[in-house]
């Protein structure tokens, strides 16, 4: 599958196939047993969400003169005005509502027809790896090929799915695919599970975390494998295969939501597209 992806899209993405020895040179934690080759991309980048969430308001203020209001909810959004829970009213030409998984509070009727649902994910993080050990690139394995649409056109996808259904049905049942990435502090984030549905349980299931860790152990050895932190997150996702939900329910009001599991990556492009659409007064995907 990787070879096929490489020959179709390798040039476009600057990715290339490397043999097992090179893969272990770039990523020393890879388990040797069973490793035949890897698809390597020099372009993958990650931001640390804990840093980014703090830095973005500052960047927006200093770079673009944006004011961020903390500690107040938007209670009502009408043409030309947004009413806040602390009594303030913000007057505006355009309001863009990006309320994430809370999609029922402000525009409940629109969301009834939106086809959006919730997705709960469980994640883990190790302590800093000892002695400055570095993972190298972000690492994923076979289950990830079933998760992302980029691999959908592969002629061997069905065979891989059939094999995983036979060998690891519980992984498919709980939407598990396993990614590992390391931050500057040396900690390795490991995830994740995907449970879909409107009612989200607040509890993290240890059996699902164990499935993630067991699969990780088949392809990656970490010098410090203990888990220091566990958490869950929720995002809004389309049940109809759409990569975003963009509607204008009233003049001057836009809802942008449903960016799913790639929202941190794709939102910057989507924001530009939507804003261009707001200027035109209409929006079409990719227009
Ligand atoms: C565990 C996990 C891992 C992920 N990993 C990745 C990844 O590796 N790469 C990637 O690209 N994406 C990833 N995502 C997806 C990404 O985080 C989401 O797609 C993205 O955060 C969605 O952005 P959003 O602005 O639509 O919603 P959110 O990020 O949920 O933001 C919505 C905000 O609106 C606020 N809000 C809601 N209602 C109101 C109101 N009435 N008034 C005021 N504020 C309100 C909420 O408090 C929230 O802060 C991950 C998500 C999770 C949960």
pLDDT confidence of residue 115: 95
3-state helix, strand, coil split of the chain in percent (to 5) is 35, 25, 40
Q: Which domains does the chain have, with CATH numbers?
A: 2-43+116-238 (3.30.9.10), 49-115+241-280 (3.50.50.60)
For residues 176 and 237, what is the distance between their CA atoms, to the nearest angstrom?
A: 16
* Mean pLDDT, the chain, integer: 94
- Atom 28 of ligand 1, residue of closest alpha carbon: 100
Q: Is 69 in the pocket of ligand 1 (CB under 6 A)?
A: no
Q: Is 49 in the pocket of ligand 1 (CB under 6 A)?
A: no
CA of 251 to the centre of ligand 1 (A): 25
CA of 235 to the centre of ligand 1 (A): 6
pLDDT confidence of residue 279: 83
For residues 146 and 172, what is the distance between their CA atoms, to the nearest angstrom?
A: 9
User: Could you tell me the pLDDT band of residue 65, with boundaries at 50, 70 and 90?
Assistant: very high
Picking from 26-35, 77-86, 145-154, 199-208, which range would have the lowest pLDDT averaged per residue?
145-154
User: Could you tell me the pLDDT band of residue 20, with boundaries at 50, 70 and 90?
Assistant: very high
Regarding beta strands 95-97 and 253-257, do their DSSP bridges make them parallel or antiparallel, or are they unpaired? parallel
Mean pLDDT of 128-145: 97
CA of 49 to the centre of ligand 1 (A): 11
User: Could you tell me the pLDDT band of residue 283, with boundaries at 50, 70 and 90?
Assistant: confident
CA of 257 to the centre of ligand 1 (A): 9
Q: Exposed, middle or buried by CB within 10 Å (0-12, 13-18, 19+), for 206? A: exposed
Q: Is 261 in the pocket of ligand 1 (CB under 6 A)?
A: yes
CA of 95 to the centre of ligand 1 (A): 18
pLDDT, tens digit (0-9, with 9 covering 90-100), for 162-183: 999 999 999 999 999 999 999 9
DSSP strands (E only) in the chain: 16-19, 37-40, 74-78, 81-84, 89-91, 95-97, 116-125, 139-140, 179-182, 188-191, 195-196, 229-238, 245-250, 253-257
Asked whether the predicted pLDDT for residue 287 surpasses 70, the reply is no
Q: Exposed, middle or buried by CB within 10 Å (0-12, 13-18, 19+), for 220? A: buried
Q: Is 100 in the pocket of ligand 1 (CB under 6 A)?
A: yes
Q: What percent of the chain has pLDDT over 70?
A: 99
User: Could you tell me the pLDDT band of residue 13, with boundaries at 50, 70 and 90?
Assistant: confident
CA of 241 to the centre of ligand 1 (A): 18
Q: Is 73 in the pocket of ligand 1 (CB under 6 A)?
A: yes
Asked whether the predicted pLDDT for residue 215 surpasses 70, the reply is yes
């Amino acid at each position: 599958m990787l070879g096929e992806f490489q020959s179709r899209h390798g040039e476009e993405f600057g990715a290339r196939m490397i043999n097992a020895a090179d893969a272990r040179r770039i990523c020393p934690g890879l388990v040797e047993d069973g490793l035949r080759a890897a698809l390597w991309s020099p372009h993958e980048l990650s931001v640390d969400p804990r840093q980014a969430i703090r830095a973005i308001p500052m960047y927006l203020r200093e770079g673009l003169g944006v004011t961020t209001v903390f500690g107040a909810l938007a209670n009502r959004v009408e043409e030309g005005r947004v009413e806040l829970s602390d009594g303030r009213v913000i007057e505006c030409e355009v309001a863009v509502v990006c309320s994430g998984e809370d999609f029922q509070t402000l525009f409940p009727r629109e969301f009834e027809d939106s086809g959006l649902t919730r997705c709960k994910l469980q994640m883990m993080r190790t302590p800093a790896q000892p002695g400055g050990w570095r993972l190298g690139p972000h690492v994923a394995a076979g289950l990830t090929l079933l998760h992302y649409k980029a691999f959908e056109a592969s002629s061997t996808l069905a065979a891989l799915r059939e094999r995983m259904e036979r060998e690891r049905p519980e992984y498919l049942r709980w939407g598990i695919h396993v990614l590992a990435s390391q931050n500057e502090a040396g900690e390795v984030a490991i995830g994740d599970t995907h449970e879909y549905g409107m009612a989200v349980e607040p509890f993290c299931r240890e059996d699902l975390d164990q499935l993630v860790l067991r699969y990780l152990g088949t392809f990656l050895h970490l010098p410090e494998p203990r888990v220091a932190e566990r958490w869950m997150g929720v995002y809004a996702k389309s049940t109809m295969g759409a990569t975003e939900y963009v509607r204008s329910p009233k003049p001057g009001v836009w809802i942008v939501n449903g960016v799913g599991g790639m929202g941190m990556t794709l939102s910057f492009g989507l924001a530009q597209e939507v804003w261009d659409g707001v200027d035109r007064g209409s929006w079409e995907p990719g227009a």
